[in-house]
Structure 1
Amino acid sequence: MLVITRDGGRSEAISELLGQEEVLTQTLPAPAESGSDKEIDTLFVDVESLLGRNKSINKALDKLWASYPSAAIVVMADEEQTKLAVDAVKAGAFDYLTHPIEKEELGLIVDKVRESDVLHSELDYLRGQFWSEDSLEYVDTRSKAMRDVFVKIRQVAGTRTTVLLTGETGTGKSLIAKLTHAHSNRRDMPFISVHCGAIPDTLVESELFGHERGAFTGAVRRKLGKFELAHGGTIFLDEIGTVSQSVQVKLLHTLQERVIQRVGGESDIPVDVRIIAATNEDMGQLCEEGKFRKDLFYRLNVFPVRIPSLRERQEDLPRLCEVFIKQFNGLLNTEIKGIHPQVLDTLFDYEWPGNVRELENVIERACILETGDILMADSFPPDLLDSQGDVVTSPVKTSLPLKEARQITVDRFERQYLASLLEQCGGVIRETARRAGITTRQLNKLMNRHGLERRSFRKKNR
Structure 2
Amino acid sequence: MRKMLVITRDGSRSEDVSNLLDQDDDILTVTTLESSNPSEDREVDTIFVDVESLLGKGQSVPKALKKLWKHYPSASIVVMADEEQTTVAVNAVKAGAFDYLIHPIGREELGLVMAKVRESDVLQSELDFLRGQFWDENSLDFIDTQSQAMRDVFVKIRQVAETRTTTLLTGETGTGKSLIAKLLHSHSNRKDMPFISVHCGAIPDGLVESELFGHEKGAFTGAVRRRLGKFELAHGGTIFLDEIGTVSQSVQVKLLNVIQERIIQRVGGENDIAVDVRIIAATNEDMKALCDEGKFRRDLYYRLNVFPICIPPLRDRIEDIPRISESFIKQFNGLLNTEIKGIHPEVLDAFQDYEWPGNVRELENIIERACILESGEILRPDSFPPDLLDPQGETLTSPVKTSLPLKQARQMTIDRFEKQYLTSLLEQCNGVIKDSAERAGITSRQLNKLMNRHGLCRKDFRLKK
Q: TM-score range by the shorter chain?
A: over 0.9
What does 1:58-137 correspond to in 2, within 5 Å? 58-137=62-141
Q: Determine which of 430, 448, 451 is the counterpart of 1:447.
A: 451
Q: Is residue 215–residue 227 contact of structure 2 (8 Å, CA) maintained in 1?
A: yes
1:12-59 CA-to-partner distances (Å, cap 9, x unmatched) read 111222343425132334432168669421101123333445635444
Contact 1:30–1:52 (CA under 8 A) maintained in structure 2:
no
Matched-pair contact (CA < 8 Å) for 1:186–1:232: yes
Q: CA separation of 1:11/1:21 partners in 2, compared to 1, >3 Å: closer, same or farther?
A: farther
Aligned match for 1:40, one of 15, 24, 44: 44
Residue equivalent to 1:174: 178
Asked if the contact 2:83–2:445 (Cα under 8 Å) also holds between the matched residues in 1, the reply is no
Distance 1:365 1:425 in 2: 30
Contact 2:354 2:388 in 1 (8 A): yes
Aligned position for 1:407 = 411
Is 1:25 the counterpart of 2:21? The answer is no
How is 1:236-275 mapped onto 2 (pairs within 5 angstroms)? Answer: 236-275=240-279
Structure 1: gaps of 5 or more residues: none
Q: Give the distance between the partners of 1:234 and 1:207, measured in 2 at CA.
A: 16
More moved, 150-159 vs 74-83: 74-83
Work out the percentage of aligned pairs sharing the same amino acid.
77
User: Which residue is equivalent to 2:398?
Assistant: 394
Residue 300 of structure 2: aligned partner: 296
- The separation in 2 between residues aligned to 1:131 and 1:418, in whole angstroms, is 40
Q: For residues 220 and 461 of structure 2, what CA distance do their matches in structure 1 show? A: 66
For the 8 Å contact 1:209–1:226, the answer to whether it is kept is yes
2:317 is matched with which residue? 313
Q: What is aligned with 1:163?
A: 167
In 1, the alpha carbon distance for the partners of 2:461 and 2:63 equals 35
User: Of 207, 224, 230, which residue of structure 2 is paired with 1:226?
Assistant: 230
Instruction: Return 188-197 or 383-392, whichever deviates more.
Output: 383-392
Q: 1:343 aligns with which of 335, 343, 347?
A: 347
Deviation of 1:117 (Å): 1.6
- 1:13 alignment partner in structure 2: 16
Counterpart for residue 278 of structure 1? 282
Contact 2:264 2:272 in 1 (8 A): yes
Moved more, 321-330 or 375-384: 375-384
Contact (CA 8 Å) 1:158, 1:184: kept in 2 or not? yes
Distance 2:16 2:291 in 1: 66
Deviation at 1:115, TM superposition (A): 2.3
Distance of 1:362 and 1:340 partners within structure 2: 14
Question: Are the counterparts in 1 of residues 200 and 208 from structure 2 also a CA contact under 8 Å?
Answer: yes
How many pairs align? 461
What CA deviation, in whole Å up to 9, does each residue of 1:172-192 have, x standing for no partner? 000000001011111111000
Q: Residues 25 and 11 of structure 1: is their aligned pair in 2 closer, same or farther, counting only changes over 3 Å?
A: farther
User: Following the alignment from structure 1 to structure 2, what is the Cα–Cα distance between the partners of residues 364 and 458?
Assistant: 26
Letter in 2 for 1:25: L
Cα distance in 2, alignment partners of residues 418 and 452 from structure 1: 8
SS in structure 1 of the partner of residue 224 of structure 2: coil
Report whether the alignment pairs 1:324 with 2:317. no
Structure-2 separation of matches of 1:391 and 1:212:
59
Given the superposition, is the C-alpha separation of residues 25 and 7 from structure 1 closer, same or farther in structure 2, using an over 3 Å criterion? farther
The alignment partner of 1:360 has SS state of: helix
8 Å CA contact 2:381–2:393 kept in 1: the answer is no
Against the structure 1 CA distance between its residues 84 and 308, is the aligned structure 2 distance closer, same or farther, given a 3 Å change threshold?
closer
Q: 1:227 to 1:357 in 2, by over 3 A?
A: same
Q: Contact between 1:6 and 1:46, CA under 8 Å: does it hold in 2?
A: yes
Cα distance, 1:377 vs structure 2:
1.7
Cα shift at 1:223: 0.4
Distance 1:268 1:176 in 2: 32
Unaligned runs of 5+ in 2: none
Which of 24-33 and 239-248 deviates more? Answer: 24-33
The match for 2:437 among 409, 429, 433 is 433
C-alpha distance in 1 between matches for 2:426 and 2:464: 14
C-alpha contact (below 8 Å) 1:234/1:275 kept by paired residues: yes
Asked if residue 197 in structure 1 is aligned to residue 194 in structure 2, the reply is: no
Displacement of 1:155 after TM fit?
A: 0.7
Secondary structure at 2:77 match in 1 = strand
CA contact (8 A) 1:163 1:301 kept: yes
Query: Distance between the aligned counterparts of 2:441 and 2:60, measured in 1?
Result: 35
Whether the 8 Å contact between 1:30 and 1:51 is mirrored in structure 2 is: no
Q: With the length of structure 1 as denominator, give the TM-score of the two structures.
A: 0.94
Q: Is the 8 A contact 1:391 1:413 kept in 2?
A: no
After superposition, the Cα gap between the structure-2 partners of 1:233 and 1:374, relative to the gap in structure 1 and judged at 3 Å, is: same
Normalised to the residue count of structure 2, the TM-score between the two structures is 0.93
1:46-57 equivalent positions in 2, closer than 5 A: 46-53=50-57, 55-57=59-61
Alpha carbons of structure 1 residues 47 and 348: separation in structure 2 relative to 1, 3 Å: closer
- 1:333 pairs with 2:347: no
CA RMSD of aligned residues (A): 2.1
